[in-house]
Structure 1
Amino acid sequence: MTRHFALAALLASSLMAPLAVHAATVQLTVLARDGQPLVDAVVVVEPISGIAPVAPAPVHATIQQLKMQFVPGTSVLPVGSRVSFVNLDSWDHHVRGVPAGLSGLNAAPDAGFELRLDGKATSKDAAVADVTLTRAGAVQLGCHLHSSMRGFIFVTDSPWAVKTDAQGMAMLQDVPEGAARLRVWHGEQIIEPAPGTLTVTRVTALTVPTQVQPRRRRP
């Protein structure tokens, strides 16, 4: 009797256990308005499973100021990451980080961060200043001294966020199968469009058109 009761309890517990969520690979090709690959678009997949994802660990990243550009032009970094800004030009630069898009227009005067970096003197180390990213969201980088300089940091608490490469492709690993929301963000957007939807299968490959037409970066 005891043995039958134990078997019944084991069977009941197995039936009540949640089904295993399989991990999948999602490959997305993001296109600009003209149909060409959209470089440096940030893709975020948000599973609608009710399972809270584990936030990615903070990292230490470097953004250079080189030849009047922020390099890389767009970075995707976890919340809590530390960024070292390095001025490799021989002239002074400024760094102003504010919320990107409409959020920046309505931001408080003290929102974001400001830095000043001296130009690199011959035979001396480049000037470096650090910032810790404490809040999720897109940040636009600028320089008050050189208005043509622009860059972006997409700060995320999602493990499924990545930017597209030179072919407009983004690859995300270990995404739970099932229904999900799809966000596509780009620095040229003023207003982020509403998220789309997709069904994640074991191997998911999609082409995603957008209305973004990026301006050319100066060489």
Structure 2
Amino acid sequence: MKRTNTSAWLMAAATLLPLAAQAATVQVTVLGRDGKPLADAVVVIEPASGAKPAEPTPVSAVISQQKMQFVPATSVLPVGSRVTFTNLDTWEHHVRGVPAGLASLNPGTQPGFELRLDGRAEGKSPASAEVTLDKAGAVQLGCHLHGSMRGFIFVADSPWTVVTDANGTATMQGLPEGAAKVRVVHADQLLEVTPVAVNITPVTALSLPTQVQPRRRRP
């Protein structure tokens, strides 16, 4: 009986060990054109093997318009997520969402969305409207009335898509080891850049320079 249990355990361990060996952790630090850490950059890792986990579960999120800004300025949300746009300012805003970058020049690209949100009146709830993000890709946000207002949503179909923090760092776990490509997308990026080829080991730390010069935002 003991031999049978031992054999079963060894078979289970042999099955699990290759899976455990593939569960890599990757930390990517993105740098701007000035060499400083670049916050709000979206990092996408695509294994060369084509391995892809299940799509992340859609969520409900809120993006506010406050003090002439979109808050948060950059969001990474799974495909199918619902976003509520809310105007906290006392004046009217629009929300214009269009495909970002070169995708906007593709004749087959969906036109995006447009919303109108009245200014907040004293004693009343702020105006809001909801949009469902049903297609993966980058979306640039703007306002027809205030050209300086810009926001960014990256609609992701993989959990290996993370936005960098204030230190320019994005951390991902559970990636397969081996060859992969790392892509960086930023709201202030003028042109799409070629993905960087990397080799993922159990613990991988990368530093990626870019030519992105982030705009100064309102305080």
Same fold (TM over 0.5): yes
Tell me which structure has the larger Cα radius of gyration. Answer: 1
Which runs of structure 2 are paired with 1:108-147 in the superposition (5 Å)? 111-147=111-147
Q: How does 1:69-218 map to 2 (within 5 A)?
A: 69-106=69-106, 111-218=111-218
Matched residues in 1 for 2:184 and 2:115: separation? Answer: 29
Indicate the SS of the match to 2:167. coil
Q: Quick check: 2:99–2:109 contact (8 Å CA) kept in 1?
A: no
Which has the larger displacement, 126-135 or 44-53?
A: 44-53
1:2-59 CA-to-partner distances (Å, cap 9, x unmatched) read xxxxxxxxx9xxx9xxx53520111111000110111100001111224332111111
| One-letter amino acid matched to 2:83 | V
- CA distance in structure 2 between the aligned counterparts of 1:57 and 1:109, rounded to whole angstroms: 24
Distance 1:53 1:92 in 2: 42
Counterparts of 1:68 and 1:120 in 2: how far apart (Å)? Answer: 13
Question: CA offsets per residue over residues 57-97 of structure 1, 9 Å max, x none?
Answer: 11101100000000000100111000000100011110000
Which residue of structure 1 lines up, in the alignment, with residue 27 of structure 2?
27
Work out the CA distance in 2 between the residues paired with 1:71 and 1:108.
30
- The count of aligned residue pairs is 208
Please give the root-mean-square deviation of Cα atoms over the aligned residues, in Å.
Answer: 2.3
State how far apart, in whole Å, the 2-side matches of 1:115 and 1:125 are: 17
TM normalised by structure 2 equals 0.88
Q: Is the 8 A contact 2:102 2:192 kept in 1?
A: no
Unmatched segments (≥5 aa) in structure 2 = 1-10
In structure 1, C-alpha distance between the alignment counterparts of 2:24 and 2:110, rounded to whole Å? 42
Q: Percent identity?
A: 66
